[in-house]
Each structure stands twice: as structure tokens, then as C-alpha cells.
Amino acid sequence: MKEGPDITRLGSLIGDPARSNMLTALLSGKALTATELASEAGITPQTASTHLKQLEEGHLLRQRKQGRHRYFSLADDDVGSLLESMLGFAAKKGYMRLRTGPKDPALRKARVCYNHLAGELAVHLFDSLKSRHMIIGDPDALGLTETGTAFLSSFGIDITRLQTERRPLCRSCLDWSMRRSHMAGSLGVAILNRIYDLNWAKREEGSRIVHFSNKGEAALLKHFPIGPKSQGS
């Protein structure tokens, strides 16, 4: 196709191994320095600077200066959703890295996907909202029902405020480990923050892993049960 969106540009930016490692490191939602990203990519700081410039020019990264340091993060939610979707597609097609480790089960159970919850428990939460008709629509066009608004408001989420934000309220994201949908958008961010506020879970320092306490996991499953007509997404 000679006209229209150019996916080759995106493919070349994301497809480089060093740049790919940098981008996935930033899925933690934490801003990192060029030196830290160079370490993640396994390259020198000088080489990292070239890659970071390309990613920034491609609108995949943004940077901010604080003192003598420059911090990089993903440009926006769309980039995070794109990367998580690509990870899910790669897992589905069998394009897996060979290295595994003890953190893999914890990552699969609950982790941060840029700014919202991902993993087994996140998919369960999405399925709960879907099966109880609190969200409706297909993964690309989700809407919050009156029942869902009332329930999430009682859970402590200010839906009215979220509806004034620029990012979409309800948005699904393909979970790379479960290969099904979890909740993104402003609602996904708010749910994760509420989980933290309730002390159900906490983020592991320097990692994407979200550790739920036994009581916290039990509370999540109690508050978000699967309805009788659940359908996976």
C-alpha cells in the first residue's frame, strides 16, 4: 500500500532488539535514565543515545529533564497498549524467548502493564465485569453500564472524574501471558490505584511484579466474582 498509515516505520523502530528491550523495560510505567535503559538493552550509553533519539523522533518515547538527568518514559497509553498487544501476539504465535526464571510465575499472575494491572488476576477482574454486564461491547469498543458505574463508584472510584479525562474510560488490552483481555484506559489505572489504596497488593521494587497478599487476593476474588454467563474475551 503506497498511501495511508506507515507500519514499516513502527516495525523498524520496535523491531530492533536494543530498542525493543528499552521499550519493554518502560512498560513498568517508571521513567528511566539513558544509562539505565542502556543497561536494559545491553549496549553502551553512547549507542543508547542514538536509539533513544530515534524512538523519541518516532513519538514512542518522551523525555523530561530533572537536574542533570534526563528521564525517559513511553509517550502515552497508546504505546503501552501497542507493546502489550504485540507481546500477546508474539506469545500466541510461539515467538518466545528461551530464558525463563523464578519471577515468571509472579509476572504471569499480576504485573503492571504501563499504568494498569495485567496478568491472571487482571483477566479475572475483566471477566468479572464483563460477565456481570458492568461493561459491554467488544474489546475495541467497550462501554460502562449504569450497573457498572454504580458498582465501581461503591468500590471507591470516581467515575465522573474519570469521564472528564482525555484518555478513554474503558479500553481493553491483550494480555501477553493469558492471551485474553484485561482492563486498560482510565478505569484500568483507577482500579489498580484503588487496589494499592486498599493494601490488597504492592509493587515489587524495581520490577513490574505486583504482589497480592493472601487477604488481598481473596478480597479481589470476592469483590469481582465471575457471573453465571461469563465469556472469555
- Contact present, 86 and 113 (Cβ < 8 Å): no
| Phi, psi for residue 229 in degrees, rounded to 5 | -115, 35
Write the pLDDT tens digit of every residue in 105-159: 898 899 998 889 999 999 999 999 999 999 998 776 799 999 999 999 999 999 9
User: Does position 65 have pLDDT exceeding 90, yes or no?
Assistant: no
Helix (H, G, I), strand (E, B) or coil at 173: strand
Rg of the chain over all Cα atoms, to the nearest angstrom: 18
pTM for this one?
0.72
pLDDT digits (tens, 9 = 90+) for 167-226: 889 988 888 788 788 999 999 999 999 999 999 999 998 888 999 999 999 999 999 999
In order of start, what are the domains of the chain with their CATH numbers? Answer: 7-75 (1.10.10.10), 79-223 (no CATH)
Neighbours of 60 (CB within 10 A): 23
